[in-house]
Amino acid sequence: MRNNGMVSVALVGLSLGIALSIAWAVERGETPPNSQANHAPRPAVSDRDVLQIAGSGSNLPLTQRLLRVWQAQSHVAAVLHPSIGTTGALRALSDHAIHLGLISRELNRGETEGGALTLEPYARSIVVFAAHPDTRDEAWTSGDVRATLSGHDTHWSDGSPRVWLMREVGDSSHLAAARGIAEFAAIEQQAYRVGRFRVLYSDAELRTALIATAGAVGLTDLGSIQIERLGLRPLALDGVEPTVANVRAGRYPLHKPLFFVLPRTVDPRVRQFVNFVHSLEGHRIIEENGYVPMDSVP
């Protein structure tokens, strides 16, 4: 890693420079209404003394909780930055602007950096179809999902309009749905091509739209709904509730891994934090917040 004195210079443009240069990966939305989650507070010390962490918005709510508890025990100064996306995390690591990256999907061949980066899974996020708080329906089926994406089923059971909200191509929650629901990927691609639905470009932006739009439904993370106390309604899928127990048992199919990305030279403080996350206390925090510790998933 470069001299730590360079970190503060690199971080001046972390949220603006790196994030804005990677437009498709940026988390542009504001914090959703009713959100109780706060980023780990910026310590009143020089940036050169602060552990810098950034990456995918899917990782942030849980990582915030884990980091807060670990900081109280370790007294290590750390900052968890607003989302810069998976690609942003990889570039920031390559530029030595952060010490630890956060991503919510596997790396593709062009992102492996010649083996310079190491992926370490720490939890599995439960992906849910989340509906507007006033939606009366509590469940739907894979067939309902396919019909909605195809534009053939546009109403809830009480006759009120159903409004499907999409994320951009390559979003990790949509990739999870494509793995778990037959024909989802092909039907979704057709919906993208014809511009059938509104597309949101960040986790926060999507959740804000779900809360603000009557009849809305879209894919997001169960843990973020719980941690941020959003009031959104997670729908059961094909009669199966989206719970930690059902993911563990292999009954609920929609989930995705959350990874730490470590550079070749790992700061000792990063290793301490990662070890805490893999501890019994870390696993307890993960489960209490609606996620599944990675080593407990079949």
Dump pLDDT digits (tens) for 167-197: 999 899 999 999 999 999 999 999 999 999 9
Q: Please tell me the class of the 5-124+257-296 domain.
A: alpha beta
CA 88 – CA 55 distance, rounded (Å) = 6
φ, ψ (nearest 5 deg) of residue 296 = -105, 5
CATH 3.40.190.10 holds for 125-248: yes
Q: Are 99 and 267 in contact (CB under 8 A)?
A: yes
Task: Select from 36, 28, 15, 26 the least CA-distant residue to 81.
Answer: 15
61: its two tokens: 């709510």
Q: Are 290 and 227 in contact (CB under 8 A)?
A: yes
Task: Return the amino acid letter for 242.
Answer: P
125 Cβ partners below 8 Å, 6+ apart?
Answer: 58, 62, 104, 221, 222, 223, 255, 256, 257, 258, 291
User: Rounded to 5 degrees, what angle do the CA atoms 162, 176, 275 make?
Assistant: 130
Integer Rg of the chain from CA? 19
Same topology between domain 5-124+257-296 and domain 125-248:
yes
CA 284 – CA 263 distance, rounded (Å) = 27
CA 224 – CA 240 distance, rounded (Å) = 20
Q: Which residues of the chain have pLDDT under 70?
A: 1-48, 112-115, 296-298
Beta-bridged to residue 118, according to DSSP, are 262
Task: Return the amino acid letter for 82.
Answer: P
CA 226 – CA 295 distance, rounded (Å) = 22
DSSP 42: P
pLDDT in tens, 26-44: 333 333 333 333 344 333 3
Q: Are 261 and 102 in contact (CB under 8 A)?
A: yes
Q: What pTM, to 2 d.p., does this model score?
A: 0.80
Q: For the chain, which residues make up each domain, given as ranges? A: 5-124+257-296, 125-248
Give residue 110's pLDDT.
72
Count the alpha carbons within 13 Å of 163 in the hemisphere toward its beta carbon. Answer: 15
Q: DSSP readout, 145-177?
A: HHHHHHTS--B-TTSPBPEEEEEPTT-HHHHHH
